[in-house]
Amino acid sequence: MSVDQFVATHLKVKHNSAGEVSITLPSNPNIQQPPPPDNSGTRITTELSRRGAKSIRGAVYLADKDHGGMVTFITATFDLEARERLASEETTIGAEVRRFLDAWRSRFRKKGKKPPVFIWVAENPNNSNPHVHILTNVKVEYRHFRTWARGLEKLWGNGTVHLEKLKYAKAAGRYLMKSIGYLAKGTNGSQGSVVGQRYGVSRNLKPKEQIDYIHVGIEGIIAYRKMITESCGQKLNDIYIHEYGMWAPPGFGIDQLLDWFFSNNFFKT
């Protein structure tokens, strides 16, 4: 089978250990692709990207599945001195968060305990109030909040630390997104400019990906293109249809998505 024949009869299925699945058309190596954008120089973002939001959703799913769930929500702020160091680019929010979380993990290791897992997002509303929201699976009793906050503030060394207990671990990702205005404003939110890394997840919360190709024949490709054309921008049975393909959220699973695709009305003439 030639490359052209393969591309004309197959779909690319990318799935991961968090149960996320995306289906797109495979690229044709015989067609020259445009060069990637130039990413040199200092990186500045003004919002959490859709890719970042997707990574966070997958991480929350794995945290709930394998690490007891994200049960504590932390907000760490930057005082005036720390903000001046950020403004002069002496440091970045990402660098400070990584230092803080590495030190926290180190404390657990020294006590012979399993290190916690984290998900974090930075924001800088009105470009004048940089702070970080952090999710973790560390359980803290209410009566110990002040003691923990004081200890974490010493470890953080940049300002105040505030703790909240999450009632529903499965909703942790949504709570985090809402806190930065992502759910309300999408990618047009006023999350502020951030230099360098804007979000991060623990290494063991990064889903392992796998790519497969399924044969659907020419009729399947026609049905797929029809679905994208007629339903782009819509959400069908929790499946998101966009201009590049379709995506199912964490926990959906590859079999369920493929069953839905092959049984939908787009195959009917």
Q: How confident is the prediction along the chain (269 residues), in pLDDT tens digits per residue?
A: 788 888 889 999 999 888 889 999 998 776 666 665 555 556 888 888 888 888 898 899 999 999 999 999 999 999 999 999 999 999 999 999 999 999 999 999 999 999 999 999 999 988 889 999 999 999 999 999 999 999 999 999 999 999 999 988 878 888 888 877 664 444 445 788 999 999 999 999 998 889 999 998 998 898 889 889 988 888 888 888 988 899 888 888 888 888 888 887 555 54
What whole-number distance in Å separates Cα of residue 12 and Cα of residue 25?
A: 6
> Helix or strand or coil: residue 44?
strand
pLDDT at residue 252 in the model? 81
- For residue 181, the 8-state DSSP code is T
Among 186, 190, 168, 188, CA closest to 177: 186
The Cβ-side half-sphere exposure at 211, using a 13 Å CA radius, reads 6
Helix-strand-coil split of the chain, %, nearest 5: 45, 20, 35
- Pairing of the two strands 194-195 and 44-45: antiparallel
What is the Cα 201 distance to its own chain's centre? 8
How many CA within 13 A on the CB side of residue 257? 26
Check residue 175 and give its pLDDT.
81
pLDDT of 72: 94
CA 222, CA 233: separation in Å to the nearest integer? Answer: 19
Number of CB atoms found within 10 A of residue 119's CB: 24
163: helix, strand or coil: strand
In this structure, are residues 200 and 119 in contact, taking their beta carbons and an 8 Å threshold?
yes
